[in-house]
A = this chain, B = another copy of it.
């Protein structure tokens, strides 16, 4: 998959990336979410190498994001579905898609429009704080050292800096 693993990092972002952080995984998850649940469909839609798709699907299954189930016997055929963890990833991918619409839009316009069924509007995802309900901006957030922050790769320098800043 890669040479360096993020799994050992004491960092939740790194651990998320360990599961879905490679080039193809987010697109695979999106495809499955949108109903492209079969091997050949995904391979054709994305143009990904079939052996790599095998590896990625297996990794996502191990990561608990998707599950592989037989949709028929004789001959046995499998498809892929999102798990609960995978479904909770979807809004994040939608937010990233919206970011791409805004900052890296293709000239031809968006290829897919997303509708929010409860209100019937074009979906414009915002990230909000579940406590106060306000939109979260980068400048509204402060980072503090947490219980697991220590001198390991991933947050080595960072943990020290945050501790310094917290004292000051």
Query: Residues of A with Cβ closer than 8 Å to B?
Result: 2, 4, 6, 10-19, 21-23, 26-27, 30-31, 33-36, 41, 44-48, 63-64, 82, 85, 87-106, 108-119, 121-134, 136-150, 153-159, 161-162, 165
Contact = CB atoms under 8 A, between A and B. Distances in A.
Copies of this chain per assembly = 2
B134 A129 contact: no
Given A45-B155, A157-B41, A104 B15 contact: yes
A12 B26 CA distance: 12
Given A12-B111, A111-B155, 17 more contacts: A11-B111, A12-B112, A16-B100, A35-B165, A36-B157, A82-B138, A90-B137, A91-B136, A91-B137, A110-B149, A112-B149, A115-B144, A118-B129, A121-B132, A125-B127, A125-B136, A127-B127
A47 B153 contact: yes
A19 B23 CA distance: 11
A141 B117 contact: yes
B137 A129 contact: no
A126 B130 contact: yes
Nearest to A125: B127
A134 to B, nearest CB: 6
A4 B112 contact: no
A124 B129 contact: yes
20 contacts: A4-B23, A6-B23, A15-B104, A16-B97, A44-B157, A45-B157, A82-B138, A85-B102, A88-B138, A95-B127, A109-B148, A111-B145, A115-B144, A116-B140, A117-B140, A119-B132, A123-B129, A123-B136, A124-B131, A125-B136
